[in-house]
Amino acid sequence: MKTAMTDQLTPPGGWITPGRVRLKPLTAQTSTRAQRLLMHTINKVGRLEASNLFLMLMRNFRLFWNWLMFAKCLMPFGALPRRDTELVILRVGWNCRCRYEWGQHVDIGLRAGVTAEDISRIPLGSEALGWEPHVKALLQACDEFHHDRMIAEDSWAVLEAHYGERRLLEVVMLIGHYEMLAGVLNSTGLPLDTRLEGVLASAPIHTRNSHVS
């Protein structure tokens, strides 16, 4: 069953949008065969559908390629457990009110071991019941980074004890990277890919009163 966009889970204030697509993805007419083949390969290897994102970023191929080489080290080839990674990205997308990031990672998260119940609790952050201690600290860290541009000492101590220094640095870079990407996506007005609109609408994460206040 699909949930209408107006009834889907939505952050306070709604998703951020400039009201138009400011930077459109390349099309079949404006992209080269090599670009389309590269996009298809990346989607296949990464097991995702991010054609709009890739084709928009390919407007500056030098930045796109170097960004991709960095981003893949965090997702999907990071050292953190995939569920932890996806919960961080979902909370960042929610905090930044970035519908593209949220929709992408509802899809990716559900396929990476995140449950629909997990996703439905993301809007409540660390205050939701049932999180493991390190996940609670992860979500707190996302909020602290978003609001204060620094993870607080209590959250840091829990995460350091759980992950160690090397993976904790990845946590910080993961949060920072997806905060940056959310800003790019919000500013460009990039629309969610058509298939993912269907995935998001059909995901069992929405309720009759899905606008969180």
The pLDDT score that the predictor gives to residue 170 is 98
Q: Find how far residue 91's CA is from the centre of its chain.
A: 8
In the chain, % of residues over pLDDT 90: 85
pLDDT tens for 127-173 read 999 999 999 999 999 999 999 999 999 999 999 999 999 999 999 99
Q: What is the residue-averaged pLDDT of the chain?
A: 94
pLDDT interval class at 45 (50, 70, 90): confident
Cis peptide, bond prior to residue 76, ω within 30 of zero:
yes
Q: Residue 212's pLDDT is what? A: 61
pLDDT of residue 37: 87
Which residues are 211's β-sheet partners?
A: 10
Give the model's pLDDT for residue 211: 53
Q: For each of the domains in the chain, give its residue range(s) and CATH number, in order of start.
A: 1-213 (1.20.1290.10)
Task: Report the alpha-carbon distance of residue 168 to residue 45 in Å, rounded.
Answer: 26
User: Residue 48's pLDDT is what?
Assistant: 73
Contacts of 161 (CB under 8 A, 6+ apart): none
Spatial contact of 189 and 98, defined as CB atoms under 8 Å apart: no
> Residue 31 has what pLDDT?
85
Give me the mean pLDDT over the 79-90 stretch. Answer: 98
Backbone torsion region of residue 122, taken as left when φ is above 0, otherwise alpha when ψ lies between -120 and 50, otherwise beta: alpha
Residue identified by tokens 């049932």 is 130
pLDDT tens digit sequence for 112-123: 999 999 999 999
Question: 4-43: per-residue pLDDT in tens?
Answer: 999 999 999 999 999 999 999 998 888 888 888 888 888 7
pLDDT at 85: 98
What sign does the CA torsion over 147, 148, 151, 155 have? negative
CA distance linking residue 120 with residue 27, whole number of Å: 34
Which of the four pLDDT bands, split at 50, 70 and 90, describes residue 46? low
Between 30 and 85, the more confident residue is 85
Q: What does the pLDDT average to over 188-206?
A: 95
Q: What whole-number percentage of the chain has pLDDT above 70?
A: 96
pLDDT of the residue at 42: 80
Distances (CA, A) of 110 to 65, 96, 196, 200: 27, 20, 12, 11
